[in-house]
């Protein structure tokens, strides 16, 4: 066996899953896990919920303790950033100048939070992507009486707004879409979420941020541009601002190597391969989904773990292709899944709900906060979302969209699944 290492770049959920899978599937050679944060791999979804709320401490987010990692025999490089990759030679360059000649590379660098011009220099303006981000915002919200403006009404912004209201702060949620999470879940479900936030005391606003007012270097207001074109602005008083305006795939360090397509993430084939010996997993990967027949990039926790394992298995199969016992690569074809907790409402969805050209809500009980929505694309049902339904019914819905079905057939199956149990 080669003495060259396999390097996993990104000590995230996807990166950890890949490293563990490499060992489980038989890699006994050197194995490097490289992460730009100083922390052991941790879980990100609780950052905007339990950790921000203060009900969890950082230690509870750890995916593995050091003692649990030790048996893997990792060359663990925390606080280390990859700065370049020679694709043909499979050579990584690290920020200390070291070059690693690798047998294979799995890229799991995730995404970086977007920000706004001038925001980084202001006290009281936060993003929420890393553990350090979440701890800084939690410290800012310690105690009561903050005036928080959350810019961005997607999943992250809605979750953080819900937590802040439960902590007793004055919260304004600003989005370019008139209803929360519309791009991900559609208008009807978004309107239900809007009602829930308003009922809890959140002020909802629609607009585009024009900048910030300050007192010294501390934020004092968020300026919204006048959508009427008159050049006026609306000021939202704030001593704390959370920018939840989306993310950018962390691919800048890969440079402009023509062997790689870094448009909206790292483009991969159905096996999660971006180039020979180079694979990707998690939020950074945009791969050809063999069932949906188009490239998908999914920023959800479950996908990170599943894709990390798939990338590891397929990389080892490629490396063993010329051996005495060749393995077969397998396409990565998951049923995408995500969830969001806001107040007492738990939303769960299967399949790619974003980008649907048809959405129906066959069950919608506003008073009981019960909802079921079906999402279609080009005449076929591709996704389903539910809230307030018994767990066994929600699990049954997964089978309806595991393979895209003609719309009416899926509609009949949805009716059957919700009528039983």
Q: Which contiguous run of DSSP H or E holds residue 254?
A: none
Q: Cα torsion for 41, 278, 337, 357, to the nearest 10°? A: 140
Element of type H or E holding 316:
helix 301-319
99 Cβ contact partners less than 8 Å away, ≥ 6 residues apart: 91, 92, 93
Q: Which of 211, 199, 122, 134 is nearest to 166 (CA)?
A: 199
pLDDT confidence of residue 228: 52
For 344-419, which CATH superfamily applies? Answer: FAD/NAD-linked reductase, C-terminal dimerisation domain (3.30.390.30)
pLDDT tens-digit map of 165-178: 999 999 999 999 99
Q: Do 117 and 19 form a contact (C-beta atoms < 8 A)?
A: no
CATH topology of domain 6-112+247-319: FAD/NAD(P)-binding domain (3.50.50)
Tell me, yes or no, if the pTM score tops 0.85.
yes
Bridge partner residues of 173 (DSSP): 150, 204
Domain ranges of the chain: 6-112+247-319, 125-243, 344-419
Q: What is the pLDDT of residues 40-60, one digit of tens each?
A: 999 999 999 999 999 999 999
Please tell us whether the domain made up of 125-243 is placed in CATH 3.50.50.60.
yes
For the CA atoms of 123, 124, 127, 131, what is the dihedral angle to 10 degrees? 90
pLDDT in tens, 81-130: 999 999 999 999 999 999 999 999 999 999 999 999 999 999 999 999 99
**Long-range interactions of 372-375: CB distance < 8 A, separation 24+:** 372/397, 372/414, 372/418, 373/185, 373/186, 373/188, 373/189, 374/410, 374/411, 374/414, 375/186, 375/351
Same fold, 6-112+247-319 and 125-243: yes
Low-confidence ranges of the chain (pLDDT < 70): 1-2, 227-231, 322-326, 420-421
Q: Is 68 left (phi over 0), alpha (psi -120 to 50) or beta?
A: alpha
Write out the H or E segment, with its range, that includes residue 235. Answer: strand 233-237
């Amino acid at each position: 066996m080669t003495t060259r290492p396999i390097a996993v770049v990104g000590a995230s959920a996807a990166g950890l899953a890949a490293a563990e899978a490499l060992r489980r599937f038989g890699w006994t050679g050197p194995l490097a896990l490289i992460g730009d944060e100083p922390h052991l791999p941790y879980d990100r979804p609780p950052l905007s919920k339990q950790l921000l709320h203060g009900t969890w401490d950082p230690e509870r987010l750890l995916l593995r303790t050091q003692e649990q990692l030790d048996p893997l025999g990792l060359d663990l490089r925390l606080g280390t950033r990859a700065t370049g990759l020679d694709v043909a030679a499979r050579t990584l360059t690290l920020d200390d100048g070291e070059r690693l000649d690798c047998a294979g590379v799995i890229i799991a660098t995730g995404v970086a939070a977007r920000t706004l011009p001038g925001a980084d220099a202001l006290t009281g303006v936060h993003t929420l992507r890393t553990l350090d981000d979440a701890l800084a915002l939690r410290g800012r919200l310690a105690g009561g009486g903050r005036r928080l403006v959350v810019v961005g009404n997607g999943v992250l912004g809605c979750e953080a707004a819900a937590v802040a209201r439960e902590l007793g702060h004055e919260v304004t949620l600003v989005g370019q879409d008139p209803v929360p999470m519309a791009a991900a879940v559609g208008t009807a479900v978004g309107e239900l979420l809007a009602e829930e936030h308003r009922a809890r005391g959140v002020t909802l606003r629609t607009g585009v941020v024009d900048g910030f007012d300050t007192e010294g270097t501390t934020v004092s207001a968020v300026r919204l541009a006048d959508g009427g074109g008159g050049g006026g602005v609306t000021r939202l008083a704030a001593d704390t601002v959370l920018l939840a305006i989306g993310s950018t795939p962390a691919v800048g360090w890969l440079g402009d190597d023509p062997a790689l397509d870094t448009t909206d993430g790292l483009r991969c084939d159905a096996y999660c391969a971006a180039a020979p010996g180079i694979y990707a997993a998690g939020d950074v990967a945009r791969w050809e989904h063999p069932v949906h027949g188009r490239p998908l990039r999914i920023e959800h926790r479950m996908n990170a773990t599943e894709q990390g394992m798939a990338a590891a298995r397929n990389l080892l199969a490629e490396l063993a292709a010329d051996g005495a016992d060749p393995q077969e690569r397998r396409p990565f074809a998951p049923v995408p899944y995500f969830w969001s907790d806001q107040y007492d409402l738990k939303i769960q969805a299967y399949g790619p709900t974003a980008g649907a050209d048809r959405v129906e809500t066959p069950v919608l009980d506003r008073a009981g906060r019960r909802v079921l929505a079906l999402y279609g694309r080009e005449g076929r049902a591709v996704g389903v979302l539910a809230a307030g339904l018994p767990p066994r019914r929600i699990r049954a819905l997964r089978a309806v969209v595991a393979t895209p079905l003609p719309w009416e057939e899926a509609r009949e199956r949805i009716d059957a699944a919700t009528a039983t149990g």
